[in-house]
Amino acid sequence: MPNRVELADEGLLIDPDAMPISLLSLLAATLYVVAATLLYRRHKHTATPILLTVSVAVALHAYVLYANIFAAGGVNVRLADAGSLIAWITALAVLLATLSRTEMNLGLLIFPVAALAVLCGWLLPGRDLLISTTSAVRAGHSLLAILAFGCLGLAVAQALLLAYQDRQLRLQPPVVSTLLPPLESMETLLFRLIAVGFVLLTVALLTGVLFNHELSGAEFPITHHTVLSVAAWICFGLLLGGHRIYGWRGRNAVHWTLGGFAILFLGYFGSRFVLEIILNR
């Protein structure tokens, strides 16, 4: 294997030979799809097959991530693996909820997304960029950002299910889905997820300010990533405030959640997709 090239000015390491584990990636993606199918038809099955299938999928996904992300001297932060890590965190959260027999419905959206993320890590890996692990501040900031993104991603899944349920109930005659909990419970979970994600995003932004100050001496450098992250933070903050003060719920909550997450998604993945996937070809 060729020696890694260290970019001293940026603290990056590049390893062009890091390869995804294709067979395990394909198997994990397949199991995620099977788990989503079993979950959709769970009225015909006990929870045990779902738990076993998801557990194996999450374990395989974790192994693939470990092989792709962690390397000697650094942590791989390429676009595909960052997205796959976020998908794994959300899938793990749904698995833990499934173990307690609560909110299993999130897996209907999260498991297919996790399957897609694993396949993207295999088929569209992008450039390998390894960051040195010597900076605790940077590592903490990255972890908080990933956790915030994952939690708000769960909120998006919940918002989509809530929108579907609201649409079904507006039909004449109303259609009551046996797959989903009551509408009030769905909304309660949605705002809990948003609140947790908002707190994590707030701390991630604060540590980002600290990290950038240590790196460049700038208190808060104005970049597209910074602007869009702050815009998403404002969006989620307004939603939480509107819910508490004015009782925003239903379609308003869904629209604000999707809008805020779309801004956050563009802030992190938009430019990196152009740089690592399109321009890297």
Taking the C-alpha atoms of residue 117 and residue 149, their distance in angstroms, rounded to an integer, is: 14
Taking the C-alpha atoms of residue 177 and residue 199, their distance in angstroms, rounded to an integer, is: 32
Residue 128 is predicted with a pLDDT of 58
| Per-run averaged pLDDT (10 residues), the chain, 281 residues | 38 41 89 90 72 93 86 64 85 80 74 89 67 61 82 90 86 70 83 93 85 57 79 96 92 94 85 57 51
Taking the C-alpha atoms of residue 79 and residue 89, their distance in angstroms, rounded to an integer, is: 16
Name every residue whose Cβ is closer than 8 Å to that of residue 116 and which is 6 or more positions away in sequence: 29, 87
Residue 30 is predicted with a pLDDT of 95
Q: Tell me the pTM.
A: 0.73
Residue 132 is predicted with a pLDDT of 55
Residue 239 is predicted with a pLDDT of 96
Taking the C-alpha atoms of residue 149 and residue 74, their distance in angstroms, rounded to an integer, is: 22
- The tens digit of pLDDT for each residue in 186-245 reads 888 899 899 999 999 999 888 877 766 554 555 556 777 788 889 999 999 999 999 999
- Region for residue 11 given its phi and psi (left: phi exceeds 0; alpha: psi -120 to 50; beta: otherwise): left
